[in-house]
Amino acid sequence: MASLKKSWVILSCVCLLFVGSSRPAFSADRGKFAVVDIGKVFDEYEKTKKFDQEFQLQGRGKQEERDALVHDLRKLRDEQMLLSEEARGEKQKAIEAKMKELENFDEDTRKALAEKRNQVVKDIFQDIENTVKQYGERKGYDFIFSDRATLYHNKGFNITADILIELNQKYRKEKK
């Protein structure tokens, strides 16, 4: 809630800066502005797509490992049903140990995949931020806004396609 309030305060200050002037907000002497659709850039960035594929493969691999543990657990339970009352108690200990192993596997897998995903997402957003900054400096922009932070903008201010082209070209060069 505090973050939302802070965002509104910042947005209000920016609006007052533009509205408070007797000159139009987007006049040539006030600066050069652009807008980027960060969500689209993130989704269409080749590095994001590659990570999604890798993440799905890892997820399938972990699911196979989990399925094997579940299979072992079911096998132990089936075996338990065939045993005498006394032997069932011993088998129950093995079942409980296998259940604990499954719980630990689930927790460790969730943590590891979440940490990896968070790191990759952070890296991707850093790539995007660096590319937008370099693009803005090279093209002489004074401000480049996220489309999510603007209520309205003229489509002519949108440079999303240019950012995507540049970002993907950099990524392809880095891969080589």
> How many angstroms from the chain centroid is the CA of residue 147?
18
The SS3 call for residue 37 is: coil
pLDDT of residue 66: 94
Looking at the predicted structure, is the pLDDT value of residue 147 above 50? yes
pLDDT of residue 168: 95
Give the pLDDT mean for 109-120. Answer: 95
Instruction: Provide the terminal-to-terminal Cα distance of the chain, rounded to the nearest Å.
Output: 44
* Residue bearing the bigger pLDDT, 131 or 176: 131
Give the pLDDT mean for 36-58. Answer: 95
Which residues on neighbouring strands pair with residue 144, listed in sequence order? Answer: 34
- The continuous run of DSSP H or E covering 143 comes out as strand 143-146
Nearest to 37 by CA among 132, 160, 136: 160
Domains and CATH numbers, the chain: 24-175 (3.30.910.20)
Looking at the predicted structure, is the pLDDT value of residue 3 above 70? no
Q: Looking at 21-35, 47-61, 98-112, 135-149, which range is the least confident one?
A: 21-35
